[in-house]
Structure 1
Amino acid sequence: MTLKHSLGTQTAPATLRVERTLPAPVERVWAYLVDPEKRRTWLAGGSMAAAPGGVFELRFQHTELSGEEAPEHYAAYRKTHIQKSRVVRIEPLKLLTITWGSESDTASEVTFELSPKGEGTQLVLTHRRLPDRKETVSVASGWHAHLEVLDDVLHERKPQGFWTNLSELEAAYEAHVR
């Protein structure tokens, strides 16, 4: 397998960090984080909250990302998967932190940090409070695959097989995660 982007890294036992340089200005990348219609093209639609404490819904429709149906291993994701999240911190055009998997205070958290980099945007995604190695491998490969879709969308290319890519990334992260 040849990776388009480098693998994320564990910065602590329960923390994953993924960095990408994206081919769009910060304003455009920010819109793909907070505008549910834009976000659904690479991650999940649903709703969005505008202030800390606000609960919102992520509606995952993975087949729509690249047109590839989930293989048997991921059959549960052939249907819409709904997840509640909560905004923890928001600084427009700079930082967004949300809970992941639930809106509770004990849920894991994802932070998206954006900064200009030339004509593009440097994205640093940090996912904290991952409960175990299995979840870390799953989350790492999932974020990697979703960010590759975002890169394709921002380049105005048709995203390639999400599930095929995810399966290959899971194997790479299985060997990479401690």
Structure 2
Amino acid sequence: MNDLMTLDAYGRLTEPATLTIQRLLPGPIERIWAYLTESELRRRWLAAGEMELRLGATTELVWRNEQLNDPPTRRPEGFGEEHRMQVEITELDPPRRLGISWGSTGGVTFLLEKQGSEVLLTVIHRRVEDRATLLNVSAGWHAHLDMLAADAGGGVKPRHWDHWLRLRAEYDRRLPG
């Protein structure tokens, strides 16, 4: 892991098709766990959807990214008003580890680690084989984690879709072709 003094907000490829991205967030760990698992908190930074915390449980996540800001931001071409995805809990060790399936990729694991009064959140998104999908996923996680950091820390949320577009261009420069 990165030294916390030099924690880079950008995700990196830790394997050819695995994105790892981290954020240092205000604790306690149970509070950040709630942001991952409780629909009302999760919808403020990622997607809504009631989650039963047991291995094998399924959840429908519902994204409404335009609603992450007030006033709402305008979505880029090719994105709908809403996106839905069925996920399954594949790993569960509250409040330290949550793994879920993720579409056609190898799934996502959220790791939480206490760092004094803060929490290091590591997101690992595996087997993102296609470059266009990797760019979207990288910019998406980065933008959504920035929303989480702002919400959890009482800061100002970036304008989601504008931020996502800038990040996608930056990841296009940063990640190998």
Is 1:26 aligned to residue 29 of structure 2? yes
Measured in 2, the distance between the counterparts of 1:154 and 1:80 equals 24
Please name the residue that 1:138 is paired with.
Answer: 136
- Measured in 2, the distance between the counterparts of 1:155 and 1:137 equals 27
Which runs of no fewer than 5 residues in structure 1 stay unpaired?
none
Q: Does 1:40 align with 2:38?
A: no
Offset from partner CA, 1:86-141 (integer Å, 9 cap, x none): 0001100100000112xxxx643000000101211001110001121111111010
Partner in structure 2 of residue 175 of structure 1 = 173
Alignment of 1:23-172 (within 5 A): 23-67=26-70, 68-74=72-78, 76-77=79-80, 79-101=81-103, 107-172=105-170
Measure, in 2, the Cα distance between the counterparts of 1:71 and 1:62: 8
Distance 1:71 1:132 in 2: 22
What secondary structure is seen at the aligned counterpart in 2 of 1:16? strand
- Cα separation, partners in 2 of 1:133 and 1:168, compared to 1, 3 Å: same
Residue identity over aligned pairs, in percent, reads 34
* Shift, 1:72, TM fit: 3.9
- Equivalent-residue separation in structure 2 for 1:41 and 1:134 (angstroms): 26
Return structure 1 stretches of 4+ with deviation > 6 angstroms.
none
- What are structure 2's unaligned runs of at least 5 residues? 1-6
Contact 1:133 1:177 in 2 (8 A): no
Q: Whole-Å Cα distance in 1 between the matches of residues 62 and 75 of structure 2?
A: 19
Contact kept? 2:9, 2:142, Cα under 8 Å: no
Normalization by structure 1: what TM-score? 0.89
Equivalent position of 2:3 in the other structure: none
1:8-47 deviations in whole A, cap 9, x for unaligned? 1001111000011112211100000000111000000012
SS of the residue corresponding to residue 158 of structure 2 reads: coil
RMSD (Å) for aligned C-alpha atoms: 1.6
Partner-residue secondary structure (3-state), 2:145: helix
The residue matched to 1:166 in structure 2 has which SS? helix
How many residues are paired up?
Answer: 169
Q: Is the contact between residue 66 and residue 158 of structure 1 (CA under 8 Å) also seen in structure 2?
A: no
The structure-2 alpha-carbon separation of the partners of 1:72 and 1:89, relative to structure 1 and needing over 3 Å to count, comes to closer
TM-score, structure 2 as length reference: 0.90
